[in-house]
Amino acid sequence: MSTGLLPPVTPDVLADAVEQLSARLRKKLDAAIAGCADRAAATADGSVEVLFGEDATVTLRPGPSGAVAHADQAACTCLLAPRCLHRAAVLGAAPLVDGEVDACGAHGPVADEAAGSGAGSDTGAGPGEAWPADVPANTGSGQPVEASAGGPGRRTGAARDQAGAESAAPPALTTAQVRAAEALWAAAAEALSAGVTAGGAVVQAELLRAAHTARLAGLPRAEAAALRVVRGLRAAREQSQGQRLGDLTEAFRELLAGAASLSSGSADAGAAGSARRVYEQGGSLRVYGLCREPVLSATGYAGVTTHLIGSDSAGYTVSDVRPGGLARVKGAGSASVALGGAVLDHAGLARGGLRIVGATVSADGRLGAGRGVSATPLRGVDWSEEPAAALFARPVREAMAAVLADGAPGAGEPGGTATRLLGCDVEVLGAAGDCVVVRVSGEGPLLRLRPAHLHPELPHAANLRRIAQYPGLALRVLGRPDLDRAATLRPLAVGPVPGASATLRLPDGWKGRADLGYDRLQGEHFPGGTAGSPASEPVATGPDPLADAPLWRVRRLLETGVAGGRRAVAEAGRGTDSASLVTRLTRAGLGGAAHLAQALTAEAGRRPRDAFGRLTDASADGYARAWLASAVHLAAAERSLVAWSWS
Express each pLDDT in 193-208 by its tens digit: 999 999 999 999 999 9
Quote the distance between the C-alpha of residue 274 and its chain's center.
Answer: 16
Looking at per-residue pLDDT, the higher value among 602 and 112 belongs to 602
Res 9 pLDDT > 80: yes
Phi/psi of residue 388, each to 5°?
-65, -30
Work out the average pLDDT over 363-385. 85
Quote the CA–CA distance of 318 and 440 in Å, as a whole number.
30
Q: State the DSSP H helix or E strand holding residue 438, giving kind and residue range, or none if neither.
A: strand 435-440
Q: Which of 209, 389, 358 is CA-nearest to residue 288?
A: 389
Question: Which neighbouring-strand residues pair with 51?
Answer: 57
Number of residues in the chain = 647
Evaluate whether 330 touches 309 at the Cβ level (below 8 Å).
Answer: no
Confidence of residue 465 (pLDDT cuts 50, 70, 90): very high
Instruction: Give per-residue pLDDT as tens, 407-457.
Output: 544 333 333 345 689 999 999 999 988 899 999 998 889 999 999 998 999
Residue 469 sits at the vertex; the CA angle it makes with 447 and 304, to the nearest 5 degrees, is 65
Quote the CA–CA distance of 60 and 47 in Å, as a whole number.
6
Work out the average pLDDT over 180-199. 96
Work out the average pLDDT over 73-91. 94
Work out the average pLDDT over 3-9. 85
Instruction: Give per-residue pLDDT as tens, 218-234.
Output: 999 999 999 999 999 99
pLDDT at residue number 108: 40
Residue 91 sits at the vertex; the CA angle it makes with 86 and 94, to the nearest 5 degrees, is 130
Confidence of residue 58 (pLDDT cuts 50, 70, 90): very high
Evaluate whether 116 touches 75 at the Cβ level (below 8 Å).
Answer: no
Q: Which residues are CB-contacts of 356 (< 8 A; sequence separation ≥ 6)? A: 282, 284, 285, 286, 287, 339, 340, 367, 373, 374, 375
Instruction: Give per-residue pLDDT as tens, 607-640.
Output: 888 788 787 877 899 999 999 999 999 999 999 9
pLDDT at residue number 169: 52
pLDDT at residue number 537: 61
Q: pTM for this one? A: 0.82
Res 112 pLDDT > 90: no
Quote the CA–CA distance of 232 and 240 in Å, as a whole number.
10
**Pairing assessment for the beta strands 446-449 and 488-495 based on DSSP bridges:** parallel
Question: Which neighbouring-strand residues pair with 304?
Answer: 294, 320
Looking at per-residue pLDDT, the higher value among 273 and 522 belongs to 522
Confidence of residue 120 (pLDDT cuts 50, 70, 90): very low
Res 157 pLDDT > 50: no
Q: State the DSSP H helix or E strand holding residue 468, giving kind and residue range, or none if neither.
A: helix 460-468
Other beta carbons less than 10 A from residue 207's beta carbon: 23
Other beta carbons less than 10 A from residue 411's beta carbon: 21
pLDDT at residue number 371: 78
Quote the CA–CA distance of 275 and 220 in Å, as a whole number.
5
Quote the distance between the C-alpha of residue 445 and its chain's center.
Answer: 28
Res 387 pLDDT > 60: yes
Res 308 pLDDT > 90: yes
Other beta carbons less than 10 A from residue 537's beta carbon: 8
Single-letter amino acid code for the residue at 479: G
Determine if the peptide bond prior to 64 is cis (ω within 30°).
Answer: no
Res 116 pLDDT > 50: no
Work out the average pLDDT over 132-155. 39
Quote the CA–CA distance of 626 and 619 in Å, as a whole number.
13
Q: What is the CA radius of gyration of the chain?
A: 26
Quote the CA–CA distance of 108 and 132 in Å, as a whole number.
7
Confidence of residue 24 (pLDDT cuts 50, 70, 90): very high
Res 104 pLDDT > 70: no
Q: Which of 200, 180, 199, 205 is CA-nearest to residue 19?
A: 205
Quote the distance between the C-alpha of residue 481 and its chain's center.
Answer: 15
Looking at per-residue pLDDT, the higher value among 338 and 324 belongs to 324
Evaluate whether 375 touches 343 at the Cβ level (below 8 Å).
Answer: no
Quote the CA–CA distance of 418 and 365 in Å, as a whole number.
11
Res 511 pLDDT > 50: yes
Res 129 pLDDT > 70: no
Quote the CA–CA distance of 585 and 578 in Å, as a whole number.
11
pLDDT at residue number 358: 86
pLDDT at residue number 124: 41
Evaluate whether 475 touches 503 at the Cβ level (below 8 Å).
Answer: yes
Single-letter amino acid code for the residue at 395: P
Looking at per-residue pLDDT, the higher value among 533 and 369 belongs to 369
Residue 642 sits at the vertex; the CA angle it makes with 637 and 647, to the nearest 5 degrees, is 125
Work out the average pLDDT over 340-365. 85
Q: Is 180 helix (H, G, I), strand (E, B) or coil?
A: helix
Quote the CA–CA distance of 75 and 361 in Å, as a whole number.
46
pLDDT at residue number 471: 93
Confidence of residue 132 (pLDDT cuts 50, 70, 90): very low
Res 286 pLDDT > 60: yes
What DSSP designation does 68 have?
B
Q: Is 226 exposed, middle or buried (0-12, 13-18, 19+ CB in 10 A)?
A: buried
Quote the CA–CA distance of 619 and 622 in Å, as a whole number.
7
Single-letter amino acid code for the residue at 62: P
Q: State the DSSP H helix or E strand holding residue 213, giving kind and residue range, or none if neither.
A: helix 201-216
- Average pLDDT for the chain: 83
Work out the average pLDDT over 320-341. 86
Percent of residues, the chain, with pLDDT higher than 90: 58
Res 164 pLDDT > 60: no
pLDDT at residue number 114: 30
Quote the CA–CA distance of 486 and 210 in Å, as a whole number.
37
Q: State the DSSP H helix or E strand holding residue 282, giving kind and residue range, or none if neither.
A: strand 280-296
Res 249 pLDDT > 70: yes
